[in-house]
Structure 1
Amino acid sequence: MNTTLFPMAGRRFEVDYGGLVAENAYAEDGRSLTYAITSGALAGNTATVSFEWRRLEGGAFAISWQEADGATVVHIDDFDAGRSLAFFTTADRQFHRLEGPLHPLDGGQG
């Protein structure tokens, strides 16, 4: 497990994957995030989850978590470039790949 504080701790971001828009709010402690699906078929889904992260070459981050229903999520988020790739498997084993713009909701830069 990474013991360094997540660089985006305390920050909020919105990602727009086309058919799904979500807000991700990273806790100040850098160990949990609260996501809220604000648009699309899954609109209204929200939860707070523990996550793990790794910095990748070039400055992007791999961020992963497992939801209470067993669904798994992995993001490759480049906060500086404003892009997100998301890969998730639902509890009923449907696999999804999404890509879209990522931007801060708190006025900060990446």
Structure 2
Amino acid sequence: MANKLTGKRYLMDVGILKTELHFESESSMVFTVLDGGGLTDKGHSERVAITLAEIRPDVYMIAWKEASGATVTHVEDHQNGVIYSNATLPDGSFYTMRGTVKPL
């Protein structure tokens, strides 16, 4: 069964980092950095293979590994517009972020 995210685009804003998330399919997403906040370059875009699990209606856990080796896990609550993002960068630094997610 398809999830409600497939085919849609969202704006993720966690303060220091703003990205567009485009869910192409159940297993593929393209993220585009709108404001990297010093963590990554503005304009960077990448297609990633994702693991997506619906925790409850409109709440998803999504995880992926980027070409750089960075790993990311989101809990996205689309009902309330809240996102929790955890990222481990290749240098071992770890970021826990909370912000908003809204449809574009």
Return the TM-score normalized by structure 1: 0.85
Shift of 1:57: 3.8
Kindly indicate whether the alpha-carbon contact (under 8 Å) linking 1:15 and 1:21 is maintained by their aligned counterparts in 2. Answer: yes
Q: How many residues align?
A: 101
Unpaired runs of at least 5, structure 1 = 106-110
Matched residues in 2 for 1:7 and 1:52: separation? 15
What is the percentage of aligned positions where both structures have the same residue?
27
Alignment-derived partner of residue 18 in structure 1: 15
Return the TM-score normalized by structure 2: 0.89
Which of these residues, 24, 27, 31, is aligned with residue 35 of structure 1? 31
Kindly indicate whether the alpha-carbon contact (under 8 Å) linking 1:6 and 1:53 is maintained by their aligned counterparts in 2. Answer: no
Unpaired runs of at least 5, structure 2 = none
RMSD (CA atoms): 1.3
Alignment-derived partner of residue 90 in structure 2: 91
Distance verdict in 2 for CA 1:73–1:33, change over 3 Å: same
Matched residues in 2 for 1:65 and 1:79: separation? 19
User: Which structure has more strand as a fraction of its residues?
Assistant: 2
Alignment-derived partner of residue 102 in structure 2: 103
Provide runs of 4+ in structure 1 moved above 3 Å.
none
